[in-house]
């Protein structure tokens, strides 16, 4: 397998006396969807925030495209090419699609906004993902469905040529049809050569779209497996006990929850 775009080694993160991440290894590869799963409190959100620069790791190594980097802020993560699409999307309802996609990064033509260039770029990003559900890039976000909002947030990462995109529960609160559309979009995102990390509690979504699955258990990486290596029951066992059969943490560690 080619070198991972993002590689974390022996990552530790504590808040006071509470160890949230313990010697966590994690890789994300270009052109693949890596699902990050785990029960509540497993450390998923903390790991994502360490990758995105919201939290600074206590110890461990952070590699991006083969070189070690030190990420201390979301701006530094963004400059590397890391984009996080959080569950709340952080979209402004009172702005249209173009304004949301370029928020804080507006294109200028002299002293004024280059509206034509921004419209073309926004439409191009949606077109590259074969999006057909959005009528106009000048629609206000307040008029969009949940699935369409996810589409805009995901297309924004394409617009800014992100290399790693983390999607936090992208299908939460979506209906069946909208979930299917978003999962197709996730797959297309990976097909463009982007390393996609999907954080989800929905095992059906994970098993449908993921190439690899990383399972966190009580702050430790219990297993990173190829999608074909596990079924839903085994995946649930990994999430709830840290082990299934011969896969996962050593039996003594998983049982003790250490």
Residue 31's closest CA among 208, 207, 191?
191
Could you confirm whether domain 6-90+160-256 is CATH 3.30.1330.10?
no
Tell me how far apart the alpha carbons of residues 214 and 227 are, in angstroms, rounded to a whole number: 10
Q: Per-domain residue ranges for the chain? A: 6-90+160-256
Measure the CA angle with vertex 85, ends 158 and 221; round to 5°. 110
pLDDT tens digits, 97-139: 999 999 888 988 888 999 999 999 999 989 888 888 888 999 9
- Ranges of residues in the chain whose predicted pLDDT is under 50: 258
- Cβ atoms within 10 A of the Cβ of 22, count? 16
pLDDT at position 181: 87
Q: Would you state the pLDDT for residue 150?
A: 86
139/1 Cα distance (integer angstroms): 42
pLDDT at 258 (0 to 100): 46
């Amino acid at each position: 397998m080619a070198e991972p775009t993002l590689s974390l080694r022996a990552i530790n993160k504590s808040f006071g006396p509470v160890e949230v991440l313990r010697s966590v290894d994690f890789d994300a590869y270009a052109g693949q969807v890596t699902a990050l799963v785990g029960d509540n409190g497993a450390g998923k959100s903390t790991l994502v925030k360490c990758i995105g620069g919201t939290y600074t790791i206590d110890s461990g190594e952070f590699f991006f495209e083969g070189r070690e980097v030190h990420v201390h802020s979301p701006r530094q993560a963004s400059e590397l090419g890391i984009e996080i699409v959080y569950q709340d999307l952080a979209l402004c309802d009172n702005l249209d699609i173009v304004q949301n996609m370029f928020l804080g990064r507006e294109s200028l033509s002299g002293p004024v906004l280059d509206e034509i260039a921004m419209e073309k770029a926004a439409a191009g990003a949606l077109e590259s993902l074969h999006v057909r559900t959005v009528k106009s890039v000048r629609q206000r976000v307040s008029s969009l469905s949940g699935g369409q909002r996810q589409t805009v947030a995901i297309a924004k990462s394409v617009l800014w040529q992100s290399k790693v995109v983390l999607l936090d529960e992208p299908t939460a609160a979506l209906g069946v049809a909208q979930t299917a559309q978003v999962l197709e979009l996730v797959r297309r995102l990976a097909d463009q050569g982007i390393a996609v990390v999907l954080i989800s509690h929905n095992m059906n979504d994970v098993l449908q779209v993921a190439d690899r699955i990383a399972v966190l258990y009580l702050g430790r990486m219990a297993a990173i497996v190829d999608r074909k290596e596990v079924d839903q029951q085994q995946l649930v066992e990994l999430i709830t006990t840290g082990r299934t059969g011969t896969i996962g943490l050593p039996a003594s560690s998983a049982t003790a929850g250490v």
